[in-house]
Structure 1
Amino acid sequence: MSSSESVAEPELLSRSGYTILATIMGVFSVLGVILNILVIVVTVKHKQLRQPLSYALVNLAVCDLGCAVFGGLPTTVTNAMRYTRLGRVGCVLEGFAVAFFGIASLCTIGVISVERYIVVCYPLGAALFQTRHAIAGVVLSWVWSFVWNTPPLFGWGSYELEGVKTSCAPNWYSRDPGNMSYIVIYFFICFAVPFSIIMVSYTRLLWTLRQVSKLQVAEGSRTHRVEAQVARMVVTMVLAFLVTWLPYAGMALAVIMDSTLRIDPLIATIPVYLAKSSTVYNPVIYVFMNRQFRMYAVPTILCGWNPWASEAQISEGDTMVASMTRIQKVSSKGSLKE
């Protein structure tokens, strides 16, 4: 049965169940739209924020905005209606849009992890992160996502209704050999690769910060504070990534590996909503935890008032680089002991 003929049967969820899902998705979608537009507007408005590291952050905001507009808001409406009237073409377009922006967002998070690793771990080395590298990372995320999400439009793989049948996504359930080959490659290329990059980058970054914390320097207390701050931020980033994306990827992998597995529609909907909730978590974690960005964003939200006006206007990235620079300078003179 095609998506245009498939209608979510009332017994999948009660009326109140669909209403709850519509409310949850509506809240996430509206917040996602507001927060990500704010990120884009504040960055465009303030020249001081247009640094190489900001390119990926703004790109992440654009990706999440696309997910919220083309995925979250339509899903809110279809849940409120208790079924989808998208039709076959509408289902394919929605599934493609959500997958396109979602994978671009995932790849951008991978780019951000590499950026932070380079900036923190090689502040004095040859691996300097410059504007051209930032632009290359942004372009790569879009090209990578486009290349691997367009095959279903031409017959390799497909987009179908998922969960409680109010949204569309890549078809994880079809046992057709062509569809299976696409899904297996898609899973590896679009999730496993970015996931591995993120974990390796942040693991090495945390290891470097741990080594720094062992160095006995005059400014040791400040170094420890910086190390603790960055460690907390990195752990938060990794945990948020795992909570939002790992359940969805795990469910897809389980369905791919076991052809007899049948997941309850409501249970299958939970990982979908967790993944779509990243449109809210991402701007909060990746942008608003940046002190420099917060110094400009908060007055925009509060009509000019900034409760943190007394804080030094430097970003956590600048603090990390400065601390690492001091440590490497001293270390190069041979005055540090591990």
Structure 2
Amino acid sequence: LAPPWAFHLQAIFMGAVFFVGTPLNFVVLLAVAKYKKLRAPLNYILVNITFAGFIFVTFSVSQVFVSTLKGYYFLGHTMCALESAVGSIAGLVTAWSLAALSFERYLVICKPFGAFKFDSNHAMAAVVITWVIGTFCATPPFWGWS
């Protein structure tokens, strides 16, 4: 195990991530819900990243923060596996959303006069695909594959 100071440092870091990340992600989600001008196709992917970040911070980081303060994981094996899966899904959704965002930027910069236009249907498809890929990749341990 690590020395006690390392756990204290981890608790401080995770606490900062939780107490800063939760309200900031929530404010972004609230702003997009309130202002229709923010609901552009490109922003669908950014909101997807924010939503995945919100889930990660509220579900995974919070558990790591409290566990670090307590010195042990207190919610049992099932919740440990669920926390791991949710954290993995959120991380994969974020990564694949960034890949979709990069592809959209590639089209705008490298193919500005091309026939393909990234619209709301493409953005929604990208959002759905990121969640399918994330879930598909993160849940096999629940069915015995480790």
Measured against the shorter chain, the TM-score band is: over 0.9
After TM superposition, give the deviation of residue 97 of structure 1 in Å. 0.9
Question: 1:133 maps to what in 2?
Answer: 122
What is the aligned-residue identity percentage?
A: 34
Q: Does 1:23 align with 2:30?
A: no
Q: Distance in 1 between matches of 2:139 and 2:29?
A: 27
| Stretches (4+) displaced over 4 A | none
Question: 2:96 maps to what in 1?
Answer: 107
Whether contact under 8 Å (1:108, 1:138) holds in the other structure is: yes
After TM superposition, give the deviation of residue 123 of structure 1 in Å. 2.8
Question: 1:9 maps to what in 2?
Answer: none
The DSSP-based 3-state class of the residue aligned with 1:124 is coil
RMSD, matched Cα: 1.2
After TM superposition, give the deviation of residue 116 of structure 1 in Å. 1.2
Whether contact under 8 Å (1:19, 1:80) holds in the other structure is: yes
* Bigger relative contact order, structure 1 or 2 (CA pairs below 8 A, ≥6 apart): 2
Whether contact under 8 Å (1:63, 1:104) holds in the other structure is: yes
Q: Distance in 1 between matches of 2:86 and 2:120?
A: 28
For residues 263-296 of structure 1, what are the alpha-carbon distances to aligned partners after superposition, in whole Å with 9 as ceiling and x for unaligned? xxxxxxxxxxxxxxxxxxxxxxxxxxxxxxxxxx
Q: Distance in 2 between matches of 1:43 and 1:69?
A: 19
The DSSP-based 3-state class of the residue aligned with 1:84 is coil
Structure showing the higher helix proportion among its residues: 2
Q: Does 1:91 align with 2:80?
A: yes
Q: Which runs of 5+ in 2 are unaligned?
A: none
Q: Does 1:36 align with 2:25?
A: yes
Q: Distance in 2 between matches of 1:79 and 1:105?
A: 25
Q: Distance in 2 between matches of 1:51 and 1:89?
A: 39
Q: Residues 64-75 of structure 1: matches in 2 within 5 Å?
A: 64-75=53-64
Counterpart code for 1:150: T
Q: Distance in 2 between matches of 1:48 and 1:123?
A: 23
Whether contact under 8 Å (1:122, 1:128) holds in the other structure is: no
Counterpart code for 1:35: L
For residues 235-260 of structure 1, what are the alpha-carbon distances to aligned partners after superposition, in whole Å with 9 as ceiling and x for unaligned? xxxxxxxxxxxxxxxxxxxxxxxxxx
Whether contact under 8 Å (1:36, 1:61) holds in the other structure is: yes
Q: Which runs of 5+ in 1 are unaligned?
A: 1-11, 158-338
Rg bigger for which structure? 1
